[in-house]
Structure 1
């Protein structure tokens, strides 16, 4: 169950900061706007799904009441709810507070990556290479393929389609490791999955972007 929870996170969660940086450089404000829409639609429900899954599989098959309690107390869910409220209420954040939180967020990302690196176990990567390879390919090839299929079914093309494919093709979020550690998932497998995905994405991400631009 713990290994499944890490595979599930590795396949479904994605590194929004990397995706946002790529589309900003390639497509400017239009790309950032499309990616903001993708993030707003996907990230909140995806966090709820993953936290629920970890509460059940990662912590010893919790009952429904325990799962719901962990959901409402989880910092990822709380952050999404607070951010959505501030946005919808048009309250926003004061400039100085925003700058402070922005600096803290940047530091947290770096610390998260360092934590992932510390949890990496090369021996286990080699020992579980089939499992790690499968988890990486599901994320880096399977998810962008699903994104493209969805865009094709709904008639979405051009920049919007490429942005959606990029969201599916980037490696999983570094915070997946922290969530696995906190909620009883297989944190070592999660660290190995993240690292292998980042390395493989150097090849697969440009390939997926090119195929999307060609319309496959």
Structure 2
């Protein structure tokens, strides 16, 4: 019950975004603009700030970074393997799989940052920023690769233009070089970060679509099982294997149980795939996150 209450403010913003988009004049075209603002400006600023605000001890964070990368690689491998699983693969459309494999391992950074701050304050923000910093490049490569291979598009171009990769890479470099945000700019940057979380959560709700879930049920169930059941269990095992502390374990479990990234839909649609189908999976993943996050934190966290 404690974790459900803790998560309520963030998921209530998702519901508010959904209701505003469906039942007011603030319809889908409005939220598409908001998504662009958050994705290309507000969220990269928050990500950069979260990484540079406290000097990063790579040696101290190496266990968490290793566990995060191992979790990501395992999730990508499981998602890629689905068409090759006996009996399962014959029912999976390869083009839909190329677009939706990303749902199994990508994560909603807006929800992750909001929850990390709520759970552990500034420490939680830095810990999850470290995970985002090391995993976003890997996950974006994992997301783009099957689609570019299937559609025969330029792979590196998609990677180097990604604003999250640019923000995380520059933030890590700035941190290691000892850069800090000037004091007179700090309040502005903080307000931008707060806006990115609230608008990002509402935009995730506005993008929810249920009508396309009737297609590819077996594929959808498979990627969501990886995202919401297998990933938290694997994260728990990795936390024990890497001997993570309580705070790091909490953040890793939160990271593993997050809903998938709302930008999965944007990426699939922009690359010419079935956007509505991926949007349906993102919607269901967001709903499943209400159950998987308290389960990961309350049940696995106690063990």
Output the TM-score relative to the length of structure 1.
0.79
Offset at 1:91? 5.7
- Which segments of structure 1 move beyond 6 Å, counting only runs of 4 or more? none
2:257 is equivalent to residue 169 of structure 1 = yes
Equivalence map 1:90-109=2 (5 Å):
90=179, 92=181, 94-95=185-186, 98=189, 102=193, 105=196, 109=200
Cα shift readout 1:84-120 (whole Å, capped 9, x = no counterpart):
4444441647447636854774587368536623xx2
1:113: which partner in 2?
204
Are 1:5 and 1:186, in contact at CA under 8 Å, matched by a contact in 2?
no
2:98 is equivalent to residue 5 of structure 1 = yes
2:295 is equivalent to residue 202 of structure 1 = no
Offset at 1:13? 0.7
Question: Cα 1:188–1:29, aligned 2, differ >3 Å: closer, same or farther?
Answer: same
Structure 1 Cα separation of the partners of residues 135 and 181 of structure 2: 21
Are 1:161 and 1:212, in contact at CA under 8 Å, matched by a contact in 2?
no
Q: In the comparison of the two structures, how many residue pairs are matched?
A: 207
2:38: which partner in 1?
none
Unaligned runs of 5+ in 2: 1-93
1:190: which partner in 2?
278
Structure 1 Cα separation of the partners of residues 122 and 168 of structure 2: 23
Question: Cα 1:31–1:8, aligned 2, differ >3 Å: closer, same or farther?
Answer: same
Equivalence map 1:20-39=2 (5 Å):
20-39=113-132
Corresponding residue SS for 1:214:
coil
Corresponding residue SS for 1:160:
helix
Question: Cα 1:8–1:150, aligned 2, differ >3 Å: closer, same or farther?
Answer: same
Are 1:47 and 1:76, in contact at CA under 8 Å, matched by a contact in 2?
no
1:152: which partner in 2?
240
Output the TM-score relative to the length of structure 2.
0.59
Question: Cα 1:111–1:82, aligned 2, differ >3 Å: closer, same or farther?
Answer: farther
2:266: which partner in 1?
178
Question: Cα 1:53–1:100, aligned 2, differ >3 Å: closer, same or farther?
Answer: farther
Question: Cα 1:80–1:108, aligned 2, differ >3 Å: closer, same or farther?
Answer: farther
Corresponding residue SS for 2:207:
helix
2:217: which partner in 1?
129
Cα RMSD for the two superposed structures:
2.8
Are 2:232 and 2:296, in contact at CA under 8 Å, matched by a contact in 1?
yes
Offset at 1:171? 0.2
Structure 2 Cα separation of the partners of residues 51 and 97 of structure 1: 33
Structure 2 Cα separation of the partners of residues 98 and 77 of structure 1: 19
Please, which moves more after superposition, 105-114 or 173-182?
A: 105-114
Question: Cα 1:135–1:200, aligned 2, differ >3 Å: closer, same or farther?
Answer: same
